[in-house]
Amino acid sequence: MAVAEELGVEVDIILYMKQPPDEALLRRIASGMDGPVEDLVRKDSQFKKLELDADDYVGDPDAVVELLARRKALMQRPVLIRGDLSSTGPLEACIGRPKEKLYEFLGS
């Protein structure tokens, strides 16, 4: 939020735990990623507790979407998205880490 304000960019914040993206939106986000699709998945303690293998998600948008549709807490954040979320058109997306990525994405 602070970076967006600093750059004078208007943003919408989606609280994904309260309003999780459905599979169709997750697919659009995955296909619009500027980096590896597996970056959408948090490899944190919950990921390890579920005994998931990070290699199962490398380059596999279907596996990433399936996992995130079931386990919304494993979605990396923040995810920055450019495009109309309510349509079916393409989106541009990136993970907002490190912080410099925020400036690159919001500034372009």
Q: How confident is the model at residue 108 (pLDDT cuts 50, 70, 90)?
A: low
The pLDDT of residue 56 is 97
Q: Is the peptide bond before 98 cis (omega within 30 degrees of 0)?
A: yes
What SS3 class is residue 19?
Answer: coil
Specify the fold of 2-107. Answer: Glutaredoxin (3.40.30)
pLDDT (tens digit per residue) in 8-25: 888 878 888 898 999 999
pLDDT (tens digit per residue) in 72-96: 999 999 899 999 998 999 999 999 8
Asked whether residue 44 carries a pLDDT value surpassing 80, the answer given is yes
**Does residue 40 contact residue 95 with C-beta atoms inside 8 Å?**
yes
Write down the pTM of the prediction: 0.89
**Does residue 50 contact residue 71 with C-beta atoms inside 8 Å?**
yes
Distances (CA, A) of 22 to 25, 48, 59, 68, 105: 5, 24, 20, 9, 24
Asked whether residue 97 carries a pLDDT value surpassing 90, the answer given is no
**Does residue 58 contact residue 40 with C-beta atoms inside 8 Å?**
no
Tokens 């994904």 sit on residue: 16
What SS3 class is residue 56?
Answer: helix
Domain ranges in the chain?
Answer: 2-107
